[in-house]
Amino acid sequence: MNTESAIERKRLYSLSPPALARLSICYQVALRAGEDGLESLSSAYLAGLLNVDETLVRKDMAVVGIVGRPRVGFPTGEILVRLKEILGLTQITDAILIGCGSLGSALLRYPGFAKYGLRIAAAFDSDHSIVGQHIGEYDVLPMEKCRSIIETFRIHVAILAVPANTAQEVTDWVISRGVIAIWNFAPVQLAVPQNVVIRNENLAVGLAQLIHQLKRSTGEQGSAL
Amino acid sequence: MNTESAIERKRLYSLSPPALARLSICYQVALRAGEDGLESLSSAYLAGLLNVDETLVRKDMAVVGIVGRPRVGFPTGEILVRLKEILGLTQITDAILIGCGSLGSALLRYPGFAKYGLRIAAAFDSDHSIVGQHIGEYDVLPMEKCRSIIETFRIHVAILAVPANTAQEVTDWVISRGVIAIWNFAPVQLAVPQNVVIRNENLAVGLAQLIHQLKRSTGEQGSAL
């Protein structure tokens, strides 16, 4: 390994989850800006979209080695190239998807994952009325085939779109077969060993926060009466 | 307004977003526990699922007025009843959904929203090949009808599942028509006035964090070589 990639690696590992979230959003903004023909993005513009201070945007950019120009901003092309490397989007990660109900089907049909470095290699369901269905580019496979696919293709990532009451069981099983990262869409908190990476997408939590804030904002208006 | 509901209101307004997220997960856990016939949940069990300290669970429960029993825990039924009130799930909030592509369709078919206090009143799309389609219980309406639905039914919440490059325009427009809360599934950060509540569900950010952690965990193993 040469020195440059060692530095790169260190940079990659030192990013905190919030910094990573900001950079990921900057990448999305730059993708859109590129499509719209914007050649540069100012730190003020990015700070506004991220709801953070400009200083933090400049710091983030400095950490990943993107150099801005005074009174112009950060070149869109450079943001795209650098963040694609830093976010690890130059390599594709294979995953399996388990659970092909309405949410799982939507994920299978979602064309945007490749842009963010993920490819769904195969999709599974335990419901035999769903197995064999053709969803997007996938034929839904029975759970019985899951083990051989994980082992043959050395799959490390599982996307779970199963019902809450089976999610833990499925999780334990895929981990026992070699999965080390879980992207969980089931509305439940899963217990996983410390060496397993887990990310929960819990729509119910988002919804509760939205409705709570809404009630607070309308309630506060009401309480002035 | 009587004193009790004034206290209730104060409690509701004083919840921080993280506390609200924890209580929302407790509610989900209690729903599942209820289905499984578990009569009580210990603070240790809840703390484990939430990945927080037991003390914090007890504090959260005390704030919302749920009383635990020594060596038994918090009664599942009481958690359900109290959190349903506290989270504002006893009233149903009406929303419209804009954008009926793959993600929007999945949201329309998702049967779980009512459980969390949301009802989708109508669904819209600007694509005339999608308008008129029957998705779940909905007929997709043309955007031209959106204004009258928002105004007639006094809709305050819009769920956006539109492409990134039209999301800001749609946002500005629904806000100008009276929407004050946006649940955004478009992969873009939206600018909204300060009085508008917004919640972003950004799958790309979640995915970037998952893949980054995965690379770090496998990379760290590799770097020991």
Dihedral of CA atoms B115, B88, B124, B194 in degrees, nearest 10, equals -150
pLDDT in tens, A51-62: 789 999 999 999
Looking at the complex, does the CB of residue B208 fall below 8 Å from at least one CB of chain A?
A: yes
pLDDT for A101 equals: 85
Looking at the complex, does the CB of residue B24 fall below 8 Å from at least one CB of chain A?
A: yes
Among all residues of chain B, which has the CA nearest to that of A218?
B180
Q: Considering only the beta carbons, identify the residue of B103, B201, B220 that sits closest to A110.
A: B103
pLDDT for A224 equals: 33
Among all residues of chain A, which has the CA nearest to that of B222?
A9
- Strand residues in chain A grouped as ranges (E): 40-41, 74-75, 93-98, 118-125, 134-135, 138-139, 141-142, 157-160, 181-184, 197-200
Rounded Cα gap, residues B201 and A185, in angstroms? 12
Strand order in the sheet with B181-184: B141-142, B118-125, B93-98, B157-160, B181-184, B197-200
pLDDT for A171 equals: 96
Question: Which residue do the tokens 């206090």 mark?
Answer: B117
pLDDT for A100 equals: 94
pLDDT for B145 equals: 96
Residue A14 has pLDDT above 70, yes or no: no
Question: Which residue do the tokens 């856990």 mark?
Answer: B29
Residues in a beta bridge with A200: A184
For residue B205, list chain A residues with Cβ-Cβ distance below 8 A: 21, 24-25
Instruction: From A133, A136, A106, select the one nearest A203 (Cα to Cα).
Output: A106
Rounded Cα gap, residues B158 and B179, in angstroms? 7
Residues 6+ apart with CB under 8 A from A169: none
Q: Considering only the beta carbons, identify the residue of A12, A103, A217 that sits closest to B197.
A: A217
SS3 category, A224: coil
Say what percent of chain B tops pLDDT 70.
Answer: 90
pTM of the predicted model, to two decimals?
0.70
Residue B18: CB atoms within 10 Å? 12
pLDDT for A8 equals: 60
- Between A71 and B213, residue with greater pLDDT: A71
Instruction: From B183, B216, B13, B177, select the one nearest B97 (Cα to Cα).
Output: B183
Rounded Cα gap, residues A64 and A62, in angstroms? 5
Looking at the complex, does the CB of residue A110 fall below 8 Å from at least one CB of chain B?
A: yes
Q: Are strands A141-142 and A118-125 parallel, antiparallel or unpaired?
A: parallel
Among all residues of chain A, which has the CA nearest to that of B189?
A49
pLDDT for B41 equals: 95
Looking at the complex, does the CB of residue A119 fall below 8 Å from at least one CB of chain B?
A: no
Across chain B, what does the average pLDDT equal?
85
Rounded Cα gap, residues B105 and B117, in angstroms? 19
Kindly state the average pLDDT of the residues B39-65.
90
Q: Across the interface, do B12 and A215 touch by the CB < 8 Å criterion? A: yes
Looking at the complex, does the CB of residue A114 fall below 8 Å from at least one CB of chain B?
A: no
Kindly state the average pLDDT of the residues A8-22.
72
Q: Minimal Cα–Cα distance from B180 to chain A, Å?
A: 8
Looking at the complex, does the CB of residue A47 fall below 8 Å from at least one CB of chain B?
A: no
